[in-house]
Amino acid sequence: MRMVLIIPFAGALLDGNYRLSLLIFLVAAISDGVDGFLARYFNWRTRVGAIADPLADKALLITTYLMLTITGILPVWLFVLVLARDIAIVGGALAFHYGIGRFEMAPSVPGKINTLVQILVALAIIILLAGWPMQPWVIDAGVWLVAGSAIFSGCHYVIVWSLRALRMKRS
């Protein structure tokens, strides 16, 4: 469902219809939560789901940050940093898979924190843009929180998976 909501969400953001974009974002978040709950409760875990769910999350977040950058709300460098981190992780995963061997995708704690920070900052910015009461410094603080968590979690993934690759190559 999140994938279907991305285009109307992006359109609402570009049109400056922030209340609609907030509603769509919340529906996407709730559907993600329900999907995750059902998968855990009924043990509906599949390899496809393990890959598709984080990709849907990333597609929504990248779209959000792209639209907020295009509209001048967020700086270009932040979008480039967020995108570069994700590309580096996917590129590293592919290099590991084809160069070292198969592995199970498992998000790290810093990676989960980074995703949470990105979601909360995007949500706070959209709430602010929708005209709901929030301090304007939230955008500036959010930019630096997202940048810091993206750098830290990206470096964490590189270090952890590089060490894992070295150990597997030696054995």
Residue 20 has which token pair?
């609609």
Q: Is the pLDDT of residue 81 over 90?
A: yes
DSSP state at residue 91: H
Domains of the chain, with CATH numbers? 2-170 (1.20.120)
Confidence band, pLDDT 50/70/90 cuts, at residue 133: confident
pTM (predicted TM-score): 0.90
Do residues 11 and 71 lie in contact, with contact meaning Cβ atoms separated by under 8 Å? Answer: no
pLDDT (tens digit per residue) in 13-49: 999 999 999 999 999 989 888 988 888 889 888 877 7
In 3D, which of 19, 21, 18, 41 has the Cα closest to residue 29? 21
DSSP 90: H
Round to whole Å and give the CA distance between 66 and 34: 26
pLDDT category of residue 169 using cuts at 50, 70 and 90: confident
